[in-house]
Amino acid sequence: MSLQLASRTTETLFQPRHVAVSRFPAAARKMAARGEIEVQLEMRHAGTRAVTLRYERVGDPSLPVLFVAGGISANRHVGASDQFSDAGWWQEQSGPGRALDPAQHCILAFDWVGGDGTLDAVIDPVDQATAVVALLDALGIARLSAFIGNSYGAMVGLHLAALHPRRVGRLVAISGFHRAHPYASAWRALQRRAVALGALQCDDSQGVALARQLAMLSYRTADEFDSRFGAAKVVNGRVQVAAEDYLDHCGQQFADRVAAQAFVRLSESIDLQAVDPETVQVPVTVVAVAEDLLVPLADAYDLVQRLRGETRLHVIHSRFGHDAFLKESRAIDGILREALLDIAADADAEALA
Amino acid sequence: MSLQLASRTTETLFQPRHVAVSRFPAAARKMAARGEIEVQLEMRHAGTRAVTLRYERVGDPSLPVLFVAGGISANRHVGASDQFSDAGWWQEQSGPGRALDPAQHCILAFDWVGGDGTLDAVIDPVDQATAVVALLDALGIARLSAFIGNSYGAMVGLHLAALHPRRVGRLVAISGFHRAHPYASAWRALQRRAVALGALQCDDSQGVALARQLAMLSYRTADEFDSRFGAAKVVNGRVQVAAEDYLDHCGQQFADRVAAQAFVRLSESIDLQAVDPETVQVPVTVVAVAEDLLVPLADAYDLVQRLRGETRLHVIHSRFGHDAFLKESRAIDGILREALLDIAADADAEALA
């Protein structure tokens, strides 16, 4: 994997580590910043492509850096800050006093390669790990204290840990493991077919909306639907089930913000996940949700058994299934705090060494 | 519910019970027969409609009559006979020496109301029970020894048992209970949306095929897919998951034989299932599959607790999930034989009374 940085690097507030942090006033250093870099990315299946990496960081860059990654529909905006005050996709875990506290850590995240819908190519999860390294190089970050990944983000994190062990101190892999389960892959393949069927109308949004609705069923559980929705009704000569309004909302909201090609290429990417756990030697905290329909507990056990570094396993129960990382805020908070204590201990051990 | 028989009744081989069975030679009596009757069906949501009921019976009509019903894509052809030698949808359970042995019973089945795709109306499961009674009336069958229903067929059987307890001696309800689960309903609603999206192309088959593929995921389980399918591949710049060929086959085969409207109206019908179990007083054998994604075990427990007649519960484990009634031939055989022994005991008790 060769990486070539293009000249345009637009961030103004971020401080690469090798520059004295005192050059900026403390207030500025603590501010959040966004930037983008252009790289020539050597991709596993698609040759070398020019891609733009768009990142956001929150917190003083001299603090331990945590790279935070979510599912395929997540992005660089993890949590709100003074500069970027919209709620982030992991708002519950982010901010003063939360597990991802910018007073304690520098939180770094980016938009997935392919996330803007302009890349019409097969994207392997390893390509995202390559892009993470490219970003770290551009920002002068020698080593992440931890990579915290959820779902697809956890898959990418495993590649990063396997291939670039010196760049990451610890991996937290939540609801994403070393392989794509064949059943989950079939479910995603049908979502992509819904997009293809919609595209035949020259109206992507209907297909993307249906794909998202199908995905929602895989992200949640029967118990959650049972607790929220009642019996079907007959409306204007048709049967309307109780969840339809909710699913309509989910589908439309997603179709309004995600391009069909971004969805399809990142959905495909999940299905290419293949990491040999024996190649991972950095410490890993694995978090599995017993009710997850996409990422079964058995795969977490298989992963934990085969990882070669220090390994911790947390199994949580949630009627939100695969979406537990977004919904079980308290359980996830506890797990993140424990993992971050380990990171602090790692740092102390390094300082003593 | 009023029923009016039309004049056209085309069966020639079937012997209504009140006619001396000796009028036909024994060989003819044991033969299978198909016929159809036209009825004015008073439907719960759609007024009175003229519908054609197409039935098949196998075995001597003087033997105890078993009405056998499957899921929404099943039909009147349960098992092969000399006359109709194609494999039936429940072939494994049908034929000499099998649980549904035409030497021991007369096996009766029909095509679902709406199954031919000509009825553009909301079909309640209770409408099917009304149609069953219309068929029994037309054929001069006072009472079924048992109604054996799978999936949608079990839902219909519960209505029959609740509303017409004198017409059915025992109900065997396999993988279909007193309500549609809200999660399963959401899954079906999205299948109907796939059909609607396909219909926008004026090419129903793509939408119906996608709907069937989605349904297959709900009928089976993650474990079954894991045992059959491996890793995804990159083919011509796209990701192809291992189950896609299989799903293509399932979708195309279904789209070739089922009209979009038949699928949509019967799929809707499942979602209207609502039987108060306290109104069922006939003996019921409930069969639940622990791994069923559509009809959860908890609903079987709720049903069994609330039924008012003699009740038996069998819980089986199957990686085929909802499709266990089609795939777990040995377990289903044992359950059917036990239920049929109960039927024989019921008959003996009646004879002694």
What's the complex ipTM?
0.91
The residue from A206, A236, A270 where one domain ends is A270
Q: What is the pLDDT of residue B3?
A: 39
Residues A16 and A87 in one domain: yes
To the nearest whole Å, the CA of B205 is away from the closest chain A CA by: 11
pLDDT single digits (tens) B94-114: 999 999 999 999 999 999 999
Query: Are residues A234 and B45, on separate chains, in Cβ contact within 8 Å?
Result: yes
CB contact under 8 A, A193 and B183: no
Q: Is A319 on the interface with B (CB under 8 A)?
A: no
To the query of whether residue A276 is one of the catalytic residues in this protein, the response is no
Nearest C-alpha in B relative to A227: B182
Does one domain contain both B283 and B231?
no
Interface of A with B in 229-288 (CB under 8 A): 229-232, 234, 237-244, 247, 268-269, 271-272, 274
Query: Could you report the per-residue pLDDT of A96-108, keeping only the tens digit for each?
Result: 999 999 999 999 9
Q: Is A25 on the interface with B (CB under 8 A)?
A: no
pLDDT, residue A238, reads 98
- Is there a single domain that holds both residue A258 and residue A292? no
Interface check for A193 against chain B (CB to CB < 8 A): the answer is yes
Active-site residue A322, yes or no? yes
Please give the pLDDT value at position B349. 80
Last residue of a domain, one of A226, A243, A270: A270
Nearest CA to CA, how far is A304 from chain B (Å)?
A: 19
Considering A101, A292, A299, A342, which one is annotated as catalytic?
A: A292
For residues A69 and A153, state if they share a domain. yes
pLDDT beyond 50 at B166: yes
pLDDT at res. B26: 53
Single out the residue of B227, B214, B145 nearest to residue B184, CA to CA. B214
pLDDT at A344: 80
**Chain A neighbors of B226, CB-CB under 8 A:** 181-183
Q: What is the dihedral of CA A28, A29, A31, A35, to 10 degrees?
A: 100
Same domain (yes/no): B62, B141: yes
Shared-domain flag, residues B194 and B311: no
Residues B235 and B291 grouped into a single domain: no
- The CATH number of whichever domain residue B196 belongs to comes to 1.10.1740.110
Is B317 part of the annotated catalytic residue set? no
Q: Give residue-wise pLDDT tens across range A7-52.
A: 344 443 333 333 333 334 455 446 899 999 999 999 999 999 999 9
B41 with B109, same domain?
A: yes
Secondary structure string (H, E, C) spanning chain A = CCEEEEEEECCCCCCCCCCCHHHCCHHHHHCCEEEEEEEEEEECCCEEEEEEEEEEEECCCCCCEEEEECCCCCCCCCCCCCCCCCCCCCHHHECCCCCECCCCCEEEEECCCCCCCCCCCCCCHHHHHHHHHHHHHHHCCCCECEEEEECHHHHHHHHHHHHCHHHECCEEEECCCCECCHHHHHHHHHHHHHHHHHHCCCCHHHHHHHHHHHHHHHHCCHHHHHHHCCCCEEECCEEECCCHHHHHHHHHHHHHHCCHHHHHHHHHHHHCCECCHHHCCCCEEEEEECCCCCCCHHHHHHHHHHCCCCEEEEEECCCCHHHHHHHCHHHHHHHHHHHHHHHHHHHHHHHHC
| Angle of the B182-199 helix axis to the A244-257 helix axis, nearest 10 | 50
**Nearest Cβ partner for A231 among B122, B238, B274:** B274
Place of tokens 């695969």: A322
Total domains, chain A: 2
| CB contact (8 A) between residue B239 and residue A190 | no
> For the residues B51-78, what does the mean pLDDT come to?
97
Among A229, A252, A270, the domain-final residue is A270
**At B41, which CATH number?**
3.40.50.1820
**B residues 149-168 near A, CB within 8 Å?**
none
Whether residue B138 is found in the same domain as residue B158? yes
As a whole number, the mean pLDDT across chain B is 91
CB contact at 8 A, A171 and A284: yes
Domain that holds residue A306: 3-180+275-352
Between B23 and B273, residue with greater pLDDT: B273
Weakly modelled stretches of chain A, pLDDT under 50: 1-25, 28-29
Report which DSSP code applies to B100.
B
* Same domain membership, residue A280 and residue A263: no
| Residue B303 pLDDT class (50, 70, 90 cuts) | very high
A21 shares a domain with A67: yes
Q: Suggest the residue from A72, A241, A245 to mutate for an interface test with chain B (most B CBs closer than 10 A).
A: A241
Instruction: Give how far A181 is from chain B: nearest CA, Å.
Output: 7
Q: Please give the Cα distance from B122 to B268 (Å, whole number).
A: 7
Who among A182, A210, A228 is closest to B243 (CB)?
A182
A147 and A82 in one domain? yes
Tell me, yes or no, if A121 comes closer than 8 A to chain B by beta carbon. yes
Reference B273, options B135, B154, B132; nearest CA is B154
